[in-house]
Structure 1
Amino acid sequence: MSKGFKSNVIIMVLLILTIGVITLGIKNDKKARAKDIEDVKIYEAKNTASAKKPGESTNKKADKEKEDTLDVYGKLQSGKDIKILVVGDSIGKSIGKTKDDAAWDVKVKKLIEDKYKNKCTINNISEDSAIAYKGYSEIMKNDIKDFDLAIVCFGGSDQYVTTKDQFSGTYEAVIRQLKKKNAKGEIITVLENTMENKDFVDIIKDVSKNYNLDMMDGIAAYNDSPLSKKDMLADKLHPNDKGYEVYANAIYKIIEKNVDAKKTVNKELQNSKNTDADAFDNFNFVTKYDSNDGFDFKDDAVISTKDSSEINYKTSASKVGISYLDMQGGGNIKVYVNGRFVKTIDTSSDRDIKKAKLVADNLKGENTIKIRSNGKTVKVFGIMTN
């Protein structure tokens, strides 16, 4: 074997060994870098875990599931955001206030946010001069269910325009429908300072007690205030800014007391106190009638300016109500069942107010409901049945 050949073989072997050493070094370097990256991740994870607040989880999915199970008091204890629904009449709407931030619900929102450092969202569907049946119809039409706390303010208008039996059924229906639509939602009832009819006062107290609900007693709150009643009223009925502050403080104290006591919302629905309340479970809002003579369709309603315009609707429902508009120059609506006159509704008002009223109750079999105008402007949004 020549010396040249041996030299070439040696050079080739050295070259192979050099390549092998380089390759092995690259692999080891990659492993080392991978280990370094993994070490950094572990270090960052440990530091993130140690930096989180006490009681705070790093599992966002678990946090969301836990938050979904919390009621209003659990959320406030944890500083979580809450949603409040207000359903009521003119006091629910804070009629009589002189500025927006004087409304009692706005004040309650501020008191909650200042104390619990959370965000409080208010959805107020109260209407001027509304009765409990109007609140019930709004709850059913809007399928309301996304709230942590509902505050119910009815009775002040009902005591003048509805019977005791009608109020008993419709007021309890409001409570039951709120519970049925959102079992974990808390409800606080309000006994308004304007309540004068003892029968209606007793209904609110009895229904609140039956469902284990806290009731804000506006009559007692006014009596206990160092201010005179005159100083808390905007007119003969409605509170003024100072009066609504009394409302806000009294409602907030109930919420604060329940948070401190770590109260939990009872998700069970108690048996109805008034057996008639369950008859409101079904709800139909009718805008297509069996016959129409003289009413014109306009936007979301039918309107007549002529005398004796008629709408007829056949139904087998036991309860029938109508949704209509009070307005300047409004006329009378006459209601008939099977041709028999049952009620007149005066829709004249100094301002536009959308209302709903129960016009026929305890009906049996199939009946024809007739709505007739009297020559002035009448606006009807629909007929409601159970």
Structure 2
Amino acid sequence: MLHKRKKLLPLVSFVMLVFLFSLFLFQDMAETYGSNGNKTGYEKLLNGKPIRYLIIGDSIGRSSGAETPQQTWFTMLEKKIKSTYGSSSKSDKIVQSGSTAFEGFFKFSISDISPNQDFVFIVFGENDRKYMSADQFMQQYEGLLRHVKKTFPRADIVTITESSLKNDQFAQVINVLSDHYHTTHIDMRPVFADSGQTEKQLTKDGIHPNSAGYQLYTDTIFRALEKNASANKQISKLPSPLDQDVDFSFKTVENPDVMDGFFKQGSYLQSEKKATSITYHFTGTMLGLQVLRSPDGGEITVFIDGKKTVELSTWWPFARERFIYVASSLSEGPHTVRFEVSGTRSGFNQSNQSVVRIAAIITKENP
């Protein structure tokens, strides 16, 4: 019996060694994108580890204008990272053509995104200038920044000033907030201006970059990440807000207080008859609208507390649920909003209809 035990000891030791080696190998192979403990994305790059990134943005965020999927700025960036550092990349995207920081903020707040993000790219400004003032943009953009920072405290936020943004006030907002939150800020306007190429050579339509333009985005972003990696950039903690009214959550209100001429159609309250309306009562300083934008989408006139505030179009080349900015900087306290069908339609609407479909209003959640 003792002789058998002596023979078994080397075998048991060998089996244990194989088990421990397999366990180590499995843990190494099981490492997922963005999940390498408390390491920053830059430390992962330097060690050739996989990274994960999120893009929250508009049409430039999704690379509209690129001739092929292989020439989007993020695909070219992934290839550049792989060839330089050996790191593979996985992405998540909250992007929508025509989107504003408000829509990005709201969609991010309701999205189920992997918590293992190493980098978050924020791409807004060009559309926002059409719907809000620079001060209102600052509130929405800072709210988004803070929500991202709280959700992904280990991620580096990359804020991008779009090459097409000609409104200096909006560009300055991005610059001020990027400095305050210690983001990696990339201003593509001087890059395009100093490239030696014309706007026609670098864009599809004067706004959206073409593949040559997105190559400039890729190269500029990569150089910034490379510089940060070499300097071992540390991720800063969340600072105090510049605007004291930005730490909030959203609330949707589906049931109107008064419905005049609208009827229920699926998930939406619908009408195309001029002067029909929906009225909601809400409390707070901000208001948005959840609608279905579609090829037959009509226009809405918005009245807040009896005063005509803005006109909105629900046209879009294909059916898509959207979250539209309506107003902010309202006084504290109760308000009444009425959405009235204008009976008109966008020049883009080539159908014979002008239908308005409303799902809910979006307001701040009261603390």
TM superposition score normalised by structure 1: 0.82
Q: Structure 1 residue 179: deviation in Å?
A: 0.6
Equivalent pair of 1:314/1:369 in contact (CA under 8 Å): yes
Residue aligning to 2:87 = 118
Amino acid at match of 1:208: S
Q: Can you list the C-alpha shifts for 1:321-369, whole angstroms capped at 9, x where unaligned?
A: 1123443342221222233332221334555563411335323222222
Amino acid at match of 1:340: K
Cα distance in 2 for residues equivalent to 1:291 and 1:251: 50
Q: Give 3-state SS (helix, strand or coil) of 1:204's partner.
A: helix
Decide which structure has greater helix share.
1
What does residue range 112-261 of structure 1 map to in structure 2 within 5 Å?
112-142=81-111, 144=113, 146=115, 147-261=117-231
Residue aligning to 2:48 = 79
Q: Structure 1 residue 95: deviation in Å?
A: 1.4
Residue aligning to 1:24 = none
Please state if 1:34 is matched with 2:8.
yes
Q: In structure 2, do the counterparts of structure 1 residues 261 and 314 end up closer, same or farther at CA, with 3 Å as the change threshold? A: same
Please state if 1:265 is matched with 2:235.
yes
Structure 1 counterpart of 2:335, from 343, 367, 384? 367
Q: Give 3-state SS (helix, strand or coil) of 1:276's partner.
A: coil
Q: Structure 1 residue 64: deviation in Å?
A: 6.8
Equivalent pair of 1:337/1:370 in contact (CA under 8 Å): yes
Residue aligning to 1:13 = none
Q: Can you list the C-alpha shifts for 1:219-243, whole angstroms capped at 9, x where unaligned?
A: 1211232433321111121111110
Cα distance in 2 for residues equivalent to 1:70 and 1:122: 18
Cα distance in 2 for residues equivalent to 1:45 and 1:125: 42
Cα distance in 2 for residues equivalent to 1:299 and 1:107: 41
Cα distance in 2 for residues equivalent to 1:40 and 1:342: 78
Q: Give 3-state SS (helix, strand or coil) of 2:358's partner.
A: strand
Residue aligning to 1:380 = 358
Cα distance in 1 for residues equivalent to 2:3 and 2:145: 71
Q: Give 3-state SS (helix, strand or coil) of 1:307's partner.
A: coil
Q: Structure 1 residue 302: deviation in Å?
A: 2.7
Q: Can you list the C-alpha shifts for 1:190-210, whole angstroms capped at 9, x where unaligned?
A: 011111111111111111011
Q: Give 3-state SS (helix, strand or coil) of 1:384's partner.
A: strand
Percent identity reads: 25
Residue aligning to 2:326 = 358
Consecutive unaligned residues in structure 2, runs of 5 or more: 344-353
Q: In structure 2, do the counterparts of structure 1 residues 229 and 28 end up closer, same or farther at CA, with 3 Å as the change threshold? A: same
Q: Structure 1 residue 145: deviation in Å?
A: 6.0
Residue aligning to 1:323 = 290
TM superposition score normalised by structure 2: 0.86
Q: In structure 2, do the counterparts of structure 1 residues 367 and 45 end up closer, same or farther at CA, with 3 Å as the change threshold? A: closer
Q: Can you list the C-alpha shifts for 1:56-89, whole angstroms capped at 9, x where unaligned?
A: x67949x979922122112222322221111111
Amino acid at match of 1:359: A
Equivalent pair of 2:272/2:355 in contact (CA under 8 Å): yes
Q: Can you list the C-alpha shifts for 1:153-186, whole angstroms capped at 9, x where unaligned?
A: 1111112321111111111111111111221121
Q: In structure 2, do the counterparts of structure 1 residues 102 and 381 end up closer, same or farther at CA, with 3 Å as the change threshold? A: farther
Rg larger in 1 or in 2? 1
Q: In structure 2, do the counterparts of structure 1 residues 38 and 234 end up closer, same or farther at CA, with 3 Å as the change threshold? A: same
Residue aligning to 2:63 = 94
Cα distance in 1 for residues equivalent to 2:330 and 2:210: 40
Amino acid at match of 2:53: I
Cα distance in 1 for residues equivalent to 2:3 and 2:276: 93
Greater displacement, 117-126 / 335-344: 335-344
Amino acid at match of 1:275: Q
